[in-house]
Structure 1
């Protein structure tokens, strides 16, 4: 009976910390959406709001890490439970970094506005890649909540679409810079924005890999998609 009681307590603690991770994920998703809005509309107000909320994201990461350390120290979990706690810790770190990218986008938007950069640069075309990255992060959080390895596999495949958008955007920026040297400085700003958006997709991909690690016990980082498919199936 005592073991059952301890198990119930442990499950409750896991549920609580998982809920906090989902809360953090929701905040980061909001940050990314607002950063994209600020970019699309050159909004100083929204960009400043994103930057101001960065501290909240950082604080939540610290709180979740503290909770995880406490659970591991007291419960000394093994096997899948330990993998889950490790994955939650890594997911939290990736969410915080995705939040950093959102803040970076907001700061770059403010820089572009303050510099009076030409509005004919293809900044709005970043919206496609940004929406893809935001959607991918949302899917990764949903898959993590359900520990759905098949959804995780789909996310790994979708990340390639963001990479293709990034490559196409870089080629377009190069064309702008070659045709008009005055666009070089603002084009470089947009290049950094595009890279930040790509990194959001990378963080979603990392979370998907952690899901497979929890469920299958296999580390699929830095392996081919064919190998990941064989692990999942």
Structure 2
């Protein structure tokens, strides 16, 4: 390739690296947002919960910015093969990150309500434990994305099954509270919404793992069992 071609290729590599870095920046903000939401819920910290709610604009702004950069790359560079998969994976990932931010904001609003209502600690405990597990999964999914690590992505995706089971257990427990004390129904419904938001974040984190597999292996695994993905990966 001539010097002009080398220059264009190098510039293109820098552009791809830049959007990857921006995804990690966005992921870091979302991860902190979730961490703060869970802490606000744990400590009944209304001020911290308000910070979570009012900081969501940062996530939204980054999604718009990264999406525009991806559009420009597709229009100018017409990427193919693995480069195109990277751009597509980035677009999908930032969509899920933005929605995780929305769920974290929802939890922040619930934390503000719980702080005012002085909710029963026993009812919140299970949600807090679920939140810690979901936060850990989000962190690990972003780590898999940063490293483009397929094996790690599969391992992290498995965590979603445990989160689903824990979520179902919390729902059963909260239903028991409502049956024992009908006066608790409004409070318990809010807790159910918080648990639901955390369960959805787990689903989004799993999506990010699936994008890693797509990016590295070129396979869309959204509707394939994790066991099948593992078998296919071992064959390669």
Aligned to 1:45: 47
Q: 1:43 offset after TM fit, Å? A: 1.0
Determine whether 1:83 maps to 2:80. Answer: no
Alignment of 1:96-107 (within 5 A): 96-107=98-109
Alignment of 1:112-131 (within 5 A): 112-114=114-116, 116=117, 118-131=119-132
Q: 1:117 offset after TM fit, Å? A: 5.4
Determine whether 1:64 maps to 2:69. Answer: no
Alignment of 1:1-233 (within 5 A): 1=2, 2-114=4-116, 116=117, 118-233=119-234
TM-score normalised over the length of structure 2 = 0.95
Q: 1:120 offset after TM fit, Å? A: 4.4
Q: State the alpha-carbon separation in 2 of the partners of residues 200 and 28 from structure 1.
A: 11
Q: 1:204 offset after TM fit, Å? A: 0.7
Q: State the alpha-carbon separation in 2 of the partners of residues 48 and 180 from structure 1.
A: 30
Q: 1:155 offset after TM fit, Å? A: 1.2
Number of equivalences: 232
Gaps of 5+ in 1: none
Q: 1:112 offset after TM fit, Å? A: 3.1
Structure 1, 95-104 or 125-134: larger mean CA deviation: 125-134
Q: 1:102 offset after TM fit, Å? A: 0.4
Q: 1:41 offset after TM fit, Å? A: 1.2
Q: Does the 8 A contact of 1:121 with 1:187 survive in 2?
A: no
Gaps of 5+ in 2: none
Q: Does the 8 A contact of 2:41 with 2:114 survive in 1?
A: no
Q: Does the 8 A contact of 1:212 with 1:232 survive in 2?
A: no
- Residues 191-220 of structure 1, C-alpha deviations (whole Å, 9 max, x = no match): 000000011111110000001101111100
TM-score normalised over the length of structure 1 = 0.96
Q: 1:59 offset after TM fit, Å? A: 0.5
Q: State the alpha-carbon separation in 1 of the partners of residues 217 and 192 from structure 2.
A: 37
Q: Does the 8 A contact of 1:21 with 1:92 survive in 2?
A: yes
Q: State the alpha-carbon separation in 2 of the partners of residues 150 and 220 from structure 1.
A: 14
Q: Secondary structure at the match of 2:158?
A: helix
Q: 1:4 offset after TM fit, Å? A: 2.0
**What value does the CA root-mean-square deviation take over the aligned residues?**
1.1
